[in-house]
Amino acid sequence: NTAKEILSNAPGVVVIDDRASNYFPTPLE
């Protein structure tokens, strides 16, 4: 989770991780 926290705080970076909707970014997207 550390990397996610760093990325989420970085300007211009959006971390897509919606566990509630069971949606995760994949290399195909």
pLDDT on residue 3: 76
- Burial track 5-17 (b if 16+ CB lie within 10 A, e otherwise): eeeeeeeeeeeee
> Model's pTM, two decimal places?
0.26
Cβ atoms of 17 and 8 within 8 Å: the answer is: no
Please, what is the Cα angle at 8 between 29 and 28, to 5 degrees? 10
Give the model confidence (pLDDT) of 3-25 as tens digits: 777 666 666 666 666 565 665 56
pLDDT on residue 5: 75
pLDDT on residue 7: 66
pLDDT on residue 18: 57
